[in-house]
Structures are given as C-alpha cells and as structure tokens.
Amino acid sequence: MASQPETDLETVMHALGRAARQAQRVLATTPRERKDHALRTAAAELRARRHHIIAVNSEDLADAQQRGLSKAMLDRLMLDEKRIEAIARGLEEIAELPDPVGSELARWQRPNGLDIARVRVPLGVIGIIFESRPNVTADAGALCLKAGNAAILRGGSESFRSSTAILSALHAGLDAAGLPRAAIQMVPTTDRAAVGHLLRMSEFVDVIVPRGGKSLIERVYAESRIPVLAHLEGNCHTYLHESADLDMAVAVTLNAKLRRTGICGATETLLCDRAAARRLLPPVLDALIRRGCEIRGCPETCALEPRAKPASEEDWYTEYLDAILAVKVVAGLDEAIEHIERYGSHHTDAIIAEDREAAETFLARVDSAIVMHNASTQFADGGEFGMGAEIGIATGRLHARGPVGVEQLTTFKYVVRGSGQCRPG
C-alpha cells in the first residue's frame, strides 16, 4: 500500500506532530508576557516585511490567475498594505486579550480539607486546515499561541508562498521571545495527501479546525479521526412572530440578509406567522427586493408578493451566501421551531417578537449554537460578542459551541491540594 513518497510524507507529517507536541509542553507553562512579546514582535515584523510579502503574494496571484481561479478566490488571496496592516493589528489585539491559561474556573474545599480547583490549561496541538486566505496563517496561529497551543497549519496550495512569508514573520516573533518555532508550523508541501495524514495522527493532534467552504468541511468531517470544531453551514433563520413590530421586522431582516450576504451568520430563510403575514411580509419583502434581493417563497408568500419566485423543497436547505432569501409562512411558533429543526444547521436563529413569552419559548426550544431575540443574525461573531478574535464558529455540541475564541481553545484540569489525606473505606 505505502508507496515510497507516501511513506516519506507520513514521516514528514509525524515529525511535524512530534515537534508540535514538544513545543506545546513548553507553551503550556509559558507566561503571558513571552507569548504577547512574540505576537507583538510578529506584528512589527509583518509591517517591516510588507513589501516582500506583497511581492510573493503577487506570484501566488499570478499562478492563481493562470489556473483560472474565480474572482472571489483571487480577492481572498490578495494581500496589500491595508490588509497586512489589518493582520498586524489583529496580532496586537490578540496580545491584548487576557491570558486564559491558569485561570481558576472553580475552586472549592471538601469536608476532609482537600482543596480542589478546576484550572484552565491549553488544549494541546491544533491542526488548522484552510483554503485561500493567507491571513488565516497569522490569525489562527496567533490565537493558538495565545491559548498556549501549538498549531499545525495547512493552507491552500494557491496561497503557499504568501502563507510561508507570513509564517516567517511569526517565527521571528517566536525567536524574539525565546519560544520554539514549532509552536506554529506549516505543512511544508502542497501535496493533498498531507491533509489525510493530519486528520489521522491523533497521537499528535488534539483537535482539527477547518476553515473554508462546504466541500472542505465535509471532507474533514468524513475523514478525521480527531475531534473537529467547525460548522458545515450557516443556514440561519429569522422568524417574524405575529407580535413583531413592523419597523423592527423590516430593519432587522434587511440587515440579517443583506448587510453581508457571504458570511455564515447571514439569514437564508425568513419565516413569518400566518396571522401577521399580510401586515409584515409585503413591506419586508418590498424593502428586500428594492435592494436587489431575490425572493423564493412558499405559495402564500408568492400570493402576497408577486415578484417572488416559487421556492422548492431544496430552497429550505440552502445556504445561498448570496442576495437570495427563502420565505415561508408558518402557522405559528411550533411550526417555526419545527421548520428550523428540520432544515436548519444549528448555527444562528432569531425571532422578532414583541411578545416576550413567545420569544423565551423560541430561545429555549430552538437547539442552535446561537439563538437571538430582536437582533440581526449577522451579530453571530466572536468579536461582536465581546469575546475577541475567533478562529471560527462551531455548531457541534461537544466542547466549544458558537464562536471559538481564545478561551474555547483551552481545556482544564483538576488541581487537588491536600495535607496527607487518605481515602477511607
């Protein structure tokens, strides 16, 4: 089975893993000053090297253009002075965050005098698989470092040169702080088989964080032998309860759908109570259509808004990431919750309602990472939550749910302090 290059690749990947484990043990007890010093130095190095980074990025861009990458992909790949400055500032902001490591989550005394503390510790080694955005190298590497984790990064082949240049700046920061370069490593090959190895080396990697499109996430979920923190889709809903205020319904729906259509917190389906459909839907849909949004509606929606196209069953499942909205009239709260359970992706779902009891029922019963009352689903973001930078949003149920920031990249251990206690019995 194992052809020679395959074996070599496995050797390379395992060496990365072993180095990451060793580095992680150093990072676990590194005081915050040194981690922050590494981050701030890396920011300065990024600024100092910006001309070089832009130069190698233009090589990546030229190759990508030749290979016929889409305009959207090329835009994600592109780095200029403004974007490099934003990356550098991002590193400084992560340095400003409190250090989660070592904080006591709880501490109590037992009747026998044992003192028990639950203390935050780093998660370990984090494997990050991403596509074309080279800034993920810095953002994800820095978040992992701040939380005391070692990172193994695997970027898209189209951004290989740009990511490598950014990684050099991070390494200069680690050098300056006397920290091992293996704290942030990049898979040194664009061979796609490397991803397969990364997803299977559970002895070296504690968690996988994929960042990218649905096909990448699907592959990671299917192949990974290591727990994954991710969301496959953000098929988010905004539900207009019959008690909704009209002005709020218009403003919040417009924002939830159209502020940015390409983010995972964008609303993809609008639900509206039948009892208020005549009052709410025509003005809400008119405002959307006037701003260029396509409406795909259920028969009742189409009857109220002739410019709507009929929705198919497939539409209720679809994350458009575009100026398209599926719209359905429902009998009430129960049907709305059932619809979200059946078609949704457990990411972010909102109710617009003046009736607080209905809102609390919705918040309690909708089983999503984020549930909202009278707010735009576009707030689904770690920064907007005040949690600082995030590595992504997780919709799985274990460990981290919702925005995955520095705190969510930690675990804990129990520290028990005694004075010679023995267990009776």
DSSP 311: P
Q: Give the residue among 385, 386, 415, 399 at the shortest CA–CA distance from 123.
A: 399
Q: Which is nearer to a second copy, 297 or 382 (CB)?
A: 382
Q: Give the residue among 270, 212, 215 at the shortest CA–CA distance from 392.
A: 212
Q: How many residues bind a second copy (CB under 8 A)?
A: 61
8 near a second copy (CB under 8 A): no
290 near a second copy (CB under 8 A): no
192 near a second copy (CB under 8 A): no
93 near a second copy (CB under 8 A): no
Write down the least CB distance from residue 17 to a second copy, Å. 15
Binding part of the chain for a second copy, among 164-172, 269-277, 317-325, 365-373 by CB under 8 A, reads: 365-373
The two three-digit tokens of residue 383, written as one number: 């920064």
DSSP 185: E
Among residue numbers 122 through 161, which ones bind a second copy (CB under 8 A)? 123-124
Burial 211-238 (b: 16+ CB within 10 A, else e): bbeeebbebbeeebebebbbbbbbbbbb
H or E segment to which residue 23 belongs:
helix 4-28
Distance CA(135)–CA(125), nearest Å, equals 20
369 near a second copy (CB under 8 A): yes
Q: Which is nearer to a second copy, 173 or 402 (CB)?
A: 402
Write down the least CB distance from residue 48 to a second copy, Å. 30
417 near a second copy (CB under 8 A): yes
- Given 34, 47, 83, 259, the residue binding a second copy (CB under 8 A): 259
118 three-class SS: strand
- Indicate the burial class of 4 (C-beta count within 10 angstroms; 0-12, 13-18, 19 or more): exposed
Write down the least CB distance from residue 425 to a second copy, Å. 7
Distance CA(338)–CA(241), nearest Å, equals 14
Distance CA(110)–CA(117), nearest Å, equals 11
In sequence order, the β-bridge partners of residue 211 are 130
Binding part of the chain for a second copy, among 5-13, 22-30, 187-195, 282-290 by CB under 8 A, reads: 22-30
Amino acid at 372: M
Write down the least CB distance from residue 245 to a second copy, Å. 7
The two three-digit tokens of residue 220, written as one number: 């990671």
414 near a second copy (CB under 8 A): yes
Distance spanning both ends of the chain, measured CA to CA: 55
CB 42 within 8 A of CB 170: yes
- Given 336, 402, 404, 406, the residue binding a second copy (CB under 8 A): 402
Q: Which residues contact 140 (CB under 8 A, 6 or more apart)?
A: 128, 130, 151, 153, 209, 211, 391
411 near a second copy (CB under 8 A): yes
31 near a second copy (CB under 8 A): no
Distance CA(70)–CA(123), nearest Å, equals 36
Binding part of the chain for a second copy, among 6-14, 52-60, 166-174, 395-403 by CB under 8 A, reads: 395-403
423 near a second copy (CB under 8 A): yes
- Given 6, 12, 15, 25, the residue binding a second copy (CB under 8 A): 25
Q: Which is nearer to a second copy, 219 or 259 (CB)?
A: 259
Write down the least CB distance from residue 256 to a second copy, Å. 8
Among residue numbers 236 through 255, which ones bind a second copy (CB under 8 A)? 245, 247-248, 251-252, 254-255
Binding part of the chain for a second copy, among 160-168, 184-192, 285-293, 391-399 by CB under 8 A, reads: 391-399
7 near a second copy (CB under 8 A): no
401 near a second copy (CB under 8 A): yes
Write down the least CB distance from residue 368 to a second copy, Å. 7
Distance CA(342)–CA(336), nearest Å, equals 10
CB 20 within 8 A of CB 204: yes
CB 265 within 8 A of CB 381: yes
Residues that bind a second copy (CB under 8 A): 25, 28-29, 102, 108, 110, 114, 116, 121, 123-124, 206-207, 227, 245, 247-248, 251-252, 254-255, 259, 341, 359, 363-365, 367-376, 378-379, 384-386, 397-399, 401-402, 411-423, 425
